[in-house]
């Protein structure tokens, strides 16, 4: 009889506890914060894949700005052979290829280029997960920077970034996390000094265009509205003060501005004539993961109210039950 | 006289020597990792798989294995089931060792280990971070476990007075010892939320992550007690404790049913049931996991089977495999950071993890032989 009671209590207890926890978490997330909004003076870049010729000038410039060594593969010492982001590479140009690769910017039998660097998320996962506040989003410009002086190297930012951007220097005993900081880290500060990003500055075609997010988004929308085959005057450099324009035939754009809405949006946006899943972009919805997880964390831990209540209850119960045992079995607990 | 006894006997037995060889090999690779080549020299960690077996096995799964002390504390001190009291002390020891080595694993995996203390400095804290909660909570819990275990040491040293005053406040540590694991074990699940699309949909249950993680932690806690108690009974040739253990079996049944109801309920609610039969790797792993969860349920549902030590052992082992697989699947096996990234642990990586486990077992063996940890046999 006693045992059956126990089964009942333990089952009942579990269900009640589960329901309580589930309830708290759900109600917490119901009032969870929405996605963050773009920073008031958010700056970013617009990468137009149809303009990129794959020259990798931006890769080289990025290495210069960040004082990082080129990746050498075999005898090819003339160019940087980095294939993906790493502790020593913050920016790469990847190639999409299909079939006989005869035509640029088509999905079948075609090819095109895609830039990989930090997207400077509006609601950045790397910032949300970092225990030591070593990833920071500038409240004015929205630029996401990394601060190794407090970083413990837990690499949660790497798994918490939807784009696998932060990279650890695995091959050093005293390595650090590296990521693109929009050329605005301490000692570089190109944006604060009124310059544009290194990669946008050297891009010969304007495929990487720098500027305020608002203007870039406007420009992207304008390009979406163009008719294939018409000509359009493409700006180069900084969209708020382009150093020159050039005319080019309008490609067959996919009607999708990557980074307008994905997981809360990004300050670095992409447009392309090849769909983004083919270019290796992740399957993201509009809700940012940080908005969900922060809802859960705050429901459970704000002001440590719940844990404090639980501790009070537990202390009382344990105290009561240990003194019971004392009576039973003589002073041992 | 204490109701506990040191088991005594030789320390340098054959199993002990084998374990120490494994540990010695791992020391070599640890040296490589910390002094010569860095993490890249010994591991296959990469840009997409930033967390490998050191995090997923040593910390995420290792601490679940170390939940025996936590689970028993709930039974004994919350539900007032005094009959399990004899199992508490060995379970606390196993938990202490498991968590201490989980903590060591975390340190080992820390890319910037030389500034680990930055996480303890309040002005650095990011209260949105699940990792912060896990890090601090686990660190405090290790201290709490040490306090909970200290009576064994004090008894051995004969510090009666200290022991008496400690016993007066021990209830506080016991209460903390129930609260803290509830916090960080559920947080281990919350870690998955931020990984978003990289976690397979069958495991990415978003808001429900902490609840499922907590339930598996408690389940694994009870199962490890079942497992340890039955192997210790065999290994150290002590009288069978099956009569106590079969009660634990009942608790596990209740928890298992609750877990399966919640898990399948969530998947139904999120419209993901179809994925179970998709026929891909993830669906295979999910079905395998579910089978491993159901086997102990079937075994433990029958009172006859519950009374047999060997059946209890099988149930415990299946449960532990199921719980470990649940976490392995979510964090590693079906984890998909995107095209171009693969991960399989390197030999040195595995050796280091094995070395850590070997050290844990060695410490357990030495301590139960030297300190009064095991309950005196009832008929003695
Ligand atoms: S892309 Fe990744 S690293 Fe860059 S801001 Fe977003 S989450 Fe952070
Ligand atoms: S690795 Fe460093 S920056 Fe990244 S989450 Fe951990 S502490 Fe933060
Ligand atoms: S903004 Fe600067 S750091 Fe970032 S990819 Fe461009 S050049 Fe590199």
CATH code assigned at A106: 3.30.70.20
* Closest to A209 in 3D by CA, of A269, A122, A279, A264: A269
Say what the alpha-carbon torsion angle B146, B147, B152, B154 is, to the nearest 10 degrees. 120
**Is residue A119 lining ligand 1, measured as CB closer than 6 Å?**
yes
For residue A100, what are the domain limits? 43-120+183-289
Residue A89, strand partner residues = A86
Among the partner residues B41, B124, B207, nearest to A132 by beta-carbon distance: B124
Residue A278 maps to a domain: yes
| Of A218 and B3, the one with more pLDDT | A218
Per-residue pLDDT tens over the stretch B24-67 = 999 999 999 999 999 999 999 999 999 999 999 999 999 999 99
Pocket test for ligand 2, best of A144, A152, A164 (most atoms within 8 A of CB): A152
- Percentage of chain B with pLDDT > 70? 96
Tell me B76's DSSP state. I
Beta-carbon count within 10 A of A195 CB = 16
Residue A137 maps to a domain: no
* Closest to A282 in 3D by CA, of B379, B341, B303: B341
**Is residue A135 lining ligand 2, measured as CB closer than 6 Å?**
yes
DSSP strand pairing (A144-146 vs A135-137): antiparallel
Q: Any idea which residue has 């008031």 for tokens?
A: A40
pLDDT of amino acid A15? 52
**Is residue A147 lining ligand 2, measured as CB closer than 6 Å?**
no
pLDDT at B184 over 60: yes
Per-residue pLDDT tens over the stretch B206-217 = 999 999 999 999
**Is residue A197 lining ligand 3, measured as CB closer than 6 Å?**
yes
Where on the phi/psi map is residue A152: left (φ > 0), alpha (ψ -120 to 50), or beta? alpha
- Interface touch A295/B207, C-beta < 8 Å: yes
Per-residue pLDDT tens over the stretch A277-315 = 999 999 999 999 999 999 999 999 988 899 999 999 999
**Residue B328 CA, ligand 1 centroid: distance in Å:** 25
User: Which of B77, B107, B134, B154 would you mutate first to test chain A, the one with the most A CBs within 10 A?
Assistant: B77
Among the partner residues A127, A169, A280, nearest to B339 by beta-carbon distance: A280
- Provide the 3-class DSSP secondary structure of residue B319: helix
Residue A10 maps to a domain: no
- Interface touch A129/B183, C-beta < 8 Å: no
Integer Cα distance of B242 and B110 in angstroms: 42
- Provide the 3-class DSSP secondary structure of residue B285: helix
pLDDT of amino acid A9? 52
**Residue A180 CA, ligand 3 centroid: distance in Å:** 5
CB within 8 Å of B300: residues ≥ 6 apart: B249, B250, B252, B253, B256, B306, B312, B315
Residue A312 maps to a domain: no
pLDDT at B195 over 90: yes
* Closest to A46 in 3D by CA, of A286, A216, A264, A192: A216
The total of structural domains in chain A comes to 1
Would you call A97 exposed, middle or buried from its count of C-beta atoms within 10 A (0-12, 13-18, 19+)?
Answer: exposed
Where on the phi/psi map is residue B38: left (φ > 0), alpha (ψ -120 to 50), or beta? left
- Provide the 3-class DSSP secondary structure of residue A60: helix
Q: Which residues of A touch B222 (CB under 8 A)?
A: none
Nearest CA in chain B to A3: B247
pLDDT of amino acid A332? 40
pLDDT at B293 over 90: yes
- Interface touch A156/B129, C-beta < 8 Å: yes
pLDDT at B345 over 50: yes
Where on the phi/psi map is residue B358: left (φ > 0), alpha (ψ -120 to 50), or beta? alpha
CB within 8 Å of A199: residues ≥ 6 apart: A45, A58, A61, A62, A91, A115, A117, A208
- Interface touch B111/A160, C-beta < 8 Å: no
CA A220 to the chain's CA centroid: 20
**Is residue A177 lining ligand 2, measured as CB closer than 6 Å?**
yes
- Interface touch A6/B35, C-beta < 8 Å: no
Beta-carbon count within 10 A of B108 CB = 20
Integer Cα distance of A191 and A39 in angstroms: 15
Per-residue pLDDT tens over the stretch B230-255 = 776 666 656 556 777 778 888 899 99
* Closest to A274 in 3D by CA, of A260, A254, A255: A254
- Interface touch A151/B171, C-beta < 8 Å: no
Residue A96 maps to a domain: yes
Integer Cα distance of A267 and A119 in angstroms: 6
Residue A125 maps to a domain: no
Give the global pTM. 0.91
Query: Angle at CA A160, nearest 5°, toward A155 and A164?
Result: 80
**Residue B248 CA, ligand 3 centroid: distance in Å:** 58
Atom of ligand 3 nearest to the CA of A198: 7
Integer Cα distance of B78 and B69 in angstroms: 13
pLDDT at B379 over 80: no
Show me where the domains of chain B are located.
Answer: 4-375
Among the partner residues B45, B80, B115, nearest to A170 by beta-carbon distance: B45
Residue A66 maps to a domain: yes
Give exposure, B331-359, as e/b (b: 16+ Cβ within 10 Å). Answer: bbbbbebbeebebebbebbbbbbbbbbbb
- Interface touch B167/A333, C-beta < 8 Å: yes
Q: Any idea which residue has 């769909």 for tokens?
A: A275
Tell me A73's DSSP state. -
CA distance A277 to chain B (A): 10
**Residue A293 CA, ligand 3 centroid: distance in Å:** 29
Of A169-183, B222-236, B330-344, the range with the lowest mean pLDDT is B222-236
CA distance B218 to chain A (A): 10
Which residues of chain A register pLDDT less than 50?
Answer: 1-3, 6-7, 10, 30, 327-333
Nearest CA in chain B to A170: B40
Integer Cα distance of A22 and B378 in angstroms: 42
Q: Any idea which residue has 């275990």 for tokens?
A: B149
**Is residue A121 lining ligand 1, measured as CB closer than 6 Å?**
yes
pLDDT of amino acid B243? 72
Integer Cα distance of B127 and A305 in angstroms: 14
CA distance A237 to chain B (A): 30
Give exposure, B217-245, as e/b (b: 16+ Cβ within 10 Å). Answer: bbbbbbbbbbbbbbebbeeeeeeebbebb
Q: Where are the beta strands (DSSP E) in A27-79?
A: 43-48
DSSP for A240-262, please give it.
TS-SEEEEEE-----S--BTSSG
> What Rg do the C-alpha atoms of chain A give, in angstroms?
26
- Interface touch A6/B247, C-beta < 8 Å: yes
CB within 8 Å of A172: residues ≥ 6 apart: A87, B38, B40
């Amino acid at each position: 009889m006693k045992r059956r009671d126990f089964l009942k209590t333990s089952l009942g207890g579990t269900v009640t506890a589960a329901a309580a926890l589930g309830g708290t978490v759900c109600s917490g997330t119901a009032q969870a914060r929405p996605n963050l909004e773009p920073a008031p003076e958010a700056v970013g870049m617009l990468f137009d894949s149809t303009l990129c010729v794959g020259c990798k000038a931006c890769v080289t410039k990025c290495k210069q700005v960040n004082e990082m060594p080129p990746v050498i593969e075999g005898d090819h010492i003339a160019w940087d052979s980095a294939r993906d982001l790493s502790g020593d590479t913050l920016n790469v140009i990847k190639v999409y290829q299909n079939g006989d690769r005869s035509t640029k910017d088509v999905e079948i039998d075609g090819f095109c280029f895609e830039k990989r660097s930090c997207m400077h998320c509006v609601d950045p996962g790397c910032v949300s997960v970092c225990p030591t506040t070593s990833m920071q989003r500038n409240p004015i410009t929205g630029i996401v920077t990394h601060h190794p002086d407090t970083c413990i190297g837990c690499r949660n930012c790497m798994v918490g970034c939807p784009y696998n951007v932060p990279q650890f220097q695995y091959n050093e005993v005293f390595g650090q996390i590296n990521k693109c900081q929009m050329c605005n880290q301490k000692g570089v500060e190109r944006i604060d000094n009124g310059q544009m990003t290194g990669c946008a500055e050297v891009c010969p075609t304007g495929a990487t265009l720098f500027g305020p997010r608002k203007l870039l988004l406007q420009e992207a929308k304008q390009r979406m509205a163009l008719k294939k085959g018409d000509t359009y005057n493409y700006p180069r450099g900084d969209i708020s003060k382009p150093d020159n324009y050039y005319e080019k035939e309008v490609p067959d754009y996919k009607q999708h501005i990557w980074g307008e809405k994905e997981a809360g949006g990004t300050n670095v946006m992409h447009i392309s004539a090849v769909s983004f899943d083919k270019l290796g972009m992740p399957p993201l919805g509009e809700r940012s993961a940080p908005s969900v997880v922060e809802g859960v964390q705050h429901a459970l831990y704000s002001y440590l109210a719940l844990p404090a209540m639980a501790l009070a209850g537990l202390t009382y119960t344990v105290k009561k039950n240990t003194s019971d045992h004392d009576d039973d079995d003589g002073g041992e607990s | 006289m204490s109701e506990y006894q040191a088991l005594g006997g030789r320390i340098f037995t054959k199993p002990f020597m084998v374990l120490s060889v494994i540990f010695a090999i791992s020391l070599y690779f640890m040296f490589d990792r910390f002094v010569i080549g860095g993490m890249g020299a010994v591991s296959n960690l990469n840009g997409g798989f930033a967390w490998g077996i050191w995090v997923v096995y040593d910390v995420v799964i290792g601490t679940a294995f170390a939940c025996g002390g936590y689970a028993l504390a709930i039974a004994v001190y919350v539900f007032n089931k005094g009959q399990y009291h004899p199992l508490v002390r060995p379970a606390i020891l196993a938990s202490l060792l498991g968590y201490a080595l989980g903590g060591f694993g975390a340190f080992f995996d820390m890319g910037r280990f030389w500034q680990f203390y930055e996480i303890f400095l309040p002005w650095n804290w990011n209260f949105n971070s699940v990792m912060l909660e896990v890090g601090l909570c686990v660190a405090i819990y290790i201290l709490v476990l040490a306090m909970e275990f200290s009576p064994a040491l004090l008894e051995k040293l004969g510090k009666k007075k200290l022991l008496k005053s400690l016993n007066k406040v021990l209830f506080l540590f016991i209460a903390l010892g129930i609260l803290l694991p509830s916090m960080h074990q559920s947080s281990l699940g919350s870690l998955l939320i931020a990984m978003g699309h990289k976690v397979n949909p069958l495991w990415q249950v978003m808001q429900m992550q902490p609840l499922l993680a907590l339930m598996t932690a408690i389940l694994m806690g009870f199962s490890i007690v079942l497992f340890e108690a039955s192997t210790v009974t065999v290994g150290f040739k002590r009288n069978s404790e099956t009569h106590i253990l079969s009660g634990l079996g009942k608790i596990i049944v209740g928890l298992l049913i609750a877990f399966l109801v919640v898990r399948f309920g969530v998947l139904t609610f999120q419209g993901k049931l179809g994925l179970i039969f998709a026929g891909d790797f993830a669906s295979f792993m999910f079905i395998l996991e579910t089978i491993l969860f159901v086997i102990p349920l079937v075994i433990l549902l029958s009172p006859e089977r519950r009374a047999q030590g060997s059946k209890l052992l099988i149930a415990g082992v299946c449960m532990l495999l199921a719980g470990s697989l649940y976490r392995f699947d979510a964090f590693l096996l079906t984890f998909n950071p995107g095209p171009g990234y693969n991960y399989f642990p390197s030999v040195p990586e595995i050796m280091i993890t094995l070395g850590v486990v070997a050290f844990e077992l060695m410490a357990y063996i030495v301590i139960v032989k030297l300190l009064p940890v095991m309950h005196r046999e009832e008929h003695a």
